[in-house]
Amino acid sequence: MPHVRNEVFVAWMTTNDWTALELAKALNKVICDVTQKTSTHGGLSEVTVRKWRSGETTWPQAKARMALEQVSGRSAADLGFVPPDRRKTRAVPEDPMLRRTFITIASAAGAAALSGAAPSAGSGDVLRLRQQLDTVNALDDQRGGHDRVEKAALAGAAEAVALQARAATQRTRQRLFSLAADFTATAAWSCVDARERARARQHLDRALYLAGLAQDPALTLRVWNSVSMLAHQQGDYAEALAAGQAAKATSVTRRDPLYASLAHARTAIAHAHLNEGRPALRALDLAEASLTKADLDQPRPSWVAFYGAAELFALTAIVRDRLGDAAHAEAASFQALAVLPLAFRRNRALTTARLSLAQLHQGDIDQATATTAKVFDEMQGAPLPGRMRSLLGEFHRDLITLAPGSATALDWADRYRTEWSRP
């Protein structure tokens, strides 16, 4: 009778990046830790795991099930394993000593639960926190910089750090450090968006430290990208350029051209603000070339979901406008809005504000003020993040410079003050 492949177990291994050999090693370590054996071999091998995958073994032995449940955070049944029908088959009797050992372990685990001792952290905790992080990032995409996002992200980071202290394996520990860094970077980004610079700097320093512990180059790039944006807000364009170059130097840019594209685009912004036109345009060309090589369907962390053709068009608009090419900036903003997903409401509003600036810088005052009205419509009465308020403030200053005392400028200022006063 052919074996039925355990698709649930295979999917769990794939989702959590386990190879058969790595999983066998992790399970053996748990078994040895629990049984207090000095040997590092708990009796499982790569072949054992492959038999589980193929369905040749439908119900692992007790010690293997215990280890699997510690590493995964899920029961054997939840992983697709099926206990034998004892009316038709008789299980091979287990070693009585082994059985007594695991009865003792179960009793100790029950006593630990009653005394308040916490179980080991495993892949189930990693998956749960990752889903929580995705939810926080989705909230940021909708609302932008907000204290709710910051608080939720910091709570997630604190939980991840606490869990890593009792991780079942080193692999789980690094994943939890990675999640802690990701949560902290999200909190930092929320502060950057809200222009809460002091808190942003504190969170970024912490995120960089945690990303180092996690040995996660993609997260290290994320932090340097945010450092560059924070330096830009503070008017330190030399630091913004240095941070962008640090992002380019991370190893993930050599493996994944999408990350390389983001790093090139960030350096382009810094070059433009340093009035370095040629390097800025060269960096944009490199960003575009890298993006064309990227596999956009490749699984990546939720934080980088914002980056693609739309974001590169939006960043191109900033560079072009800064270099005095408002017509190309306007065109790039339209291109960004044409492909920007509706879910990224905050980004759509920011791109619309950039479009209005490009129109204003070409002297089209009526069109520019009409465009900025769409910013408020896009946010649908939600509080405007600090970064968006700053951009609208820049529009206001340029408007009264170009058309002081005009009816158009006065009408827009009234709308601006109304929206600004929203809580």
Instruction: Write down the pLDDT at residue 118.
Output: 54
Instruction: Write down the pLDDT at residue 371.
Output: 93
- Model pTM above 0.85: no
Q: Is residue 52 part of a domain?
A: yes
Interatomic CA distance for residues 168 and 157, integer angstroms = 19
- The SS3 assignment for 257 reads helix
Q: Is residue 138 part of a domain?
A: yes
Q: Are residues 133 and 78 in the same domain?
A: no
Of the candidates 383, 390, 385, the one whose C-alpha atom is nearest the C-alpha of residue 354 is 390
The Cβ of residue 127 has, within 10 Å, a number of other Cβ atoms equal to: 17
Residue listed under structure tokens 């222009």? 195
Tell me which of 195, 215, 235 is where a domain ends.
215
Q: Is residue 154 part of a domain?
A: yes
Q: Is residue 16 part of a domain?
A: yes
Interatomic CA distance for residues 264 and 253, integer angstroms = 10
Q: Which residues of the chain have pLDDT under 50?
A: 36-40, 86-117
Interatomic CA distance for residues 206 and 199, integer angstroms = 11
pLDDT tens for each residue of 326-350:
999 999 999 999 998 877 888 899 9
Structural domain of 187: 120-215
In this structure, what CATH number is given to the domain that contains residue 13?
1.10.260
Tell me which of 183, 200, 215 is where a domain ends.
215
Tell me which of 164, 189, 215 is where a domain ends.
215
Instruction: Write down the pLDDT at residue 15.
Output: 75
What one-character-per-residue DSSP string does 93-143 give? PPPHHHHHHHHHHHHHHHHHHHHTPPPPB-HHHHHHHHHHHHHHHHHHHHH
Which residues lie closer than 8 Å to 79 by C-beta, 6 or more apart? Answer: 6, 8, 9, 12, 68, 72
Which residues lie closer than 8 Å to 218 by C-beta, 6 or more apart? Answer: 250, 252, 256, 259, 300, 301, 304
Q: Are residues 125 and 211 in the same domain?
A: yes
Q: Is residue 395 part of a domain?
A: no
Q: Are residues 58 and 131 in the same domain?
A: no
Q: Are residues 125 and 180 in the same domain?
A: yes
Q: Is residue 326 part of a domain?
A: no
Of the candidates 247, 229, 241, 246, the one whose C-alpha atom is nearest the C-alpha of residue 267 is 241
Q: Are residues 142 and 63 in the same domain?
A: no
**Torsion angle of the four alpha carbons 144, 145, 148, 149, in this order, in degrees rounded to the nearest 10:** 80
Write the CA distances from 378 to 342, 375, 399, integer angstroms: 10, 5, 21
Q: Is residue 319 part of a domain?
A: no
What one-character-per-residue DSSP string does 384-421 give? PPHHHHHHHHHHHHHHHHHSTT-HHHHHHHHHHHHHHT
Residue listed under structure tokens 């295979």? 10
The Cβ of residue 265 has, within 10 Å, a number of other Cβ atoms equal to: 26
Instruction: Write down the pLDDT at residue 140.
Output: 67
Instruction: Write down the pLDDT at residue 26.
Output: 80
Instruction: Write down the pLDDT at residue 1.
Output: 58
Q: Is residue 392 part of a domain?
A: no
How many Å from the N-terminal Cα to the C-terminal Cα in the chain? 68
> How many independent structural domains does the chain possess?
2
Q: Are residues 127 and 63 in the same domain?
A: no
Q: Are residues 125 and 199 in the same domain?
A: yes
